[in-house]
Structure 1
Amino acid sequence: MVGTSSGDVPASAELTRRDELLRIAGRVFAQAGYAGTSLRDIADAAGILTGSLYHHFPSKEALAVELISEFQAEMDELARRPRLESGHPLTDLVEFADKVGQIAGRHRAAVHMCRRDAPTTATETMTTLVRRKPVALNRRWATLLRAARDAGTLRAEVDLPVLQAVLPIAVLDLAALVTPLSTSDLVCSLVSQLLHGLTTEAHSPAELDASGPARVARERIAGWRPPAAADESRRGLILATARDEFARRGYEATTMRDIAAAAGMRASSIYGHFAAKQEILAAIMERFSHHLLEGYETVAAAPGTAVERLDGVFSLMTSAARLFRHEFMIVKDWWYVLNPPVDAPPVDNAARLRIMEEMLDEGIRARQFATPADVSVLAVALRSLLWVPLTDSGPASSAPRRHALLRQTLLDGAASPAERSVVKAL
């Protein structure tokens, strides 16, 4: 019985109940976010009183620390396992990605917390855990990719350093999405498409650069401007400061008081311009979201093939990742919760996903894309790759370099021609 002393409960039962509460806390954190969750929320989800929860965990942070520690320990153990012995480097790579995805899918809340900065209220213990780099895991990814290249199963022209930076982030973020789609299906679809590619025929960069969709994409990008750069008003200062804080802390973890402190003003001054934090968020995202959706619609309507239109989207996204880096990081938060704010950016995000699905459908019907994957699964996998990994893969990866990688992988396939039939069968 929860609430009795540990001496009244067998150790095995105590451990089982404690583990059950951890799993419940993980689900609540993944759904509402760490900052948006209270101990009472977790207790309510577990069907117990808050006081009974204190019997197992002294604080909300104690729950979070244990969840993060468990996630990192599983990833470390995976990284330390002996090398896979399938006999085929690309099979090893897909299977390893699936194992990483399975762990991330079981620990969504921990992935979310580790992908953001620690809350300002966090202790040194939690801050250290959140900021810990997965060195062993990244080393294992690099080893698998180099083994594939050295065996001649990856094309020599593929930008391996950028792929090494992007792939681990893409798998984690995709697996941590709260979605009814299968985690294994999403991860394996993404990695298989990176290796096998979508197109049935090769397209040179010069040919793609000269296409109608590429031209209209460049025109749209030329008209984009960094947000709020010239707005020196009090309202502009609030928006610029909130944009920085939302990107650094995460939307949920940032309070109006945090924004006021960072802007050097009182919280009451902010309320003179914005009634709620969500109004600030909507104002920040409105122009960015409109730019991006308008770009998708223009590229989708441009004369050309489905391959050229998808490549035009690649151009839009890699350029937007540079010009609107903070907005990219803020949008990431919406993917990490079941109940995102009801305003324009999530609606536009759904519209962009539909446009991508239509491009994929068109390419499959025209036999320009050869993929056995479910289009809805593939579209979500591609969308994930086009967001956070493009902003998290390091300053050395310029927009043209990232665009080139998307062409080398998603269009043409990173695997050497002789190996693509092997990858396609995985």
Structure 2
Amino acid sequence: MTLAIQIIQFILIISVLVILHELGHFIPAKYFKTKVEKFYLFFDVKFSLFKKKIGETVYGIGWLPLGGYVKIAGMIDESMDTEQMKEEPKPWEFRSKPAWQRLIIMLGGVTVNFFLAWIIYTLLLLSNGDTYIPADSLKYGIQVDSVGEKLGLRTGDRILAVDGKKTKKFNKAVLQIILGDEITVIRDGEEILIPLSDEGKADVFRTQGRNFMSYRSKPIIEKVTKESVAEKAGIASGDQIVGVNGANIEFWDQFRAAIGNSAGEDLSIQVLRNGQTKELFLRVPEQGVIGVQLDFEDLRVTDTFNFFSAIPAGLTQTIEVLTDQIRQFKVIFNTKTGAYKQVKGPIGIVEMMSPTWDWTFFWSFMAMFSVWLAFLNLLPIPALDGGHVMFLLYEMISGRKPSEKVLERGQIIGFVILMGLMIVVFGNDIWNIIKRFI
């Protein structure tokens, strides 16, 4: 059932984004009286799941869920309809329109993607506010594992800036550290500048960034799993762990280490409850997990927005997401970090979906992915919108159209590049699945 929910979310998000992206091309094309022959959700290689002709356009659903397309008459695109291009240009064809109109048609898809993300982020901020843990005001600093230590961080450090820029949110600080070159922290009362090595980042990507850095907190229990070792021992929600076997415990990482190092052993746990200290006893299972969750409420803050403040905040968030995605390429193309091994295709993206239906996650992911599609489509690769834009800008600047042979060859080269990238990301997805069983 969990996998089914993840697949449904992925298909629904992709469907909405593809339809709106293609509408971004379709609407200006129709406005400029350009014939649109096909409007497809997903690709109809050899056959369609559904198709219906309305007016001059065939609307359909393909079987291959890797995107979608509109086929515009008189345009060299993925259909490679060279026969049509041998005929004399018709007034309703793409190639007969002024360059500025063709440019608007080609930029329509990415424009819709960008504005969609802006709208979603604005509405999310308006309805939910923005809840986060401040990066620069953590009460007890950060908590890192062995991977975080290889980056040069230490438990108890307080983050001041990454690459000289202050980071407001802790989750943003985690991303900025992965993408950045240096981090400034306060350690034992001193300000320290830590260079972020490619080798350290390689370890982060090797473990997919799982918990290499989190926030240090008091060991106050938020939830106790039913029928767990902790519940049977009498640990309750709201308890603060203050000791294990008589040794003082001040922070959650100390308690977690004490439990993890005591698998199969009997422990006495001292908890503070309603101002009184109680001693409880339990045997730690071999897995080293007793069934408790931490309370982070004392670290969180929420910024609220009205309609007029949510709009610029939504734009800022959209631009930040776009900027971070662009910066990721520096890390991905640096082979020393190994980040390219973590690039995800459709299979990997499905695994990123929430295992339960969560509308906040759904819309947040759609906004993020919409920005990603806008950026990806603007890359100057023939066969993508950015490739067409590149040739159009050349035409507008030079006053000369590229020959149809150049456009055809560019389309073929772009198609080969995209297929190569798809093979890489699908191969990564499959290899990551295989590694779980090795």
Provide the TM-score with structure 1 as the length reference. 0.26
Larger Rg: 2
Q: Which has the higher contact order (CA 8 A, sep 6+)?
A: 1
More strand per residue: 2
More helix per residue: 1
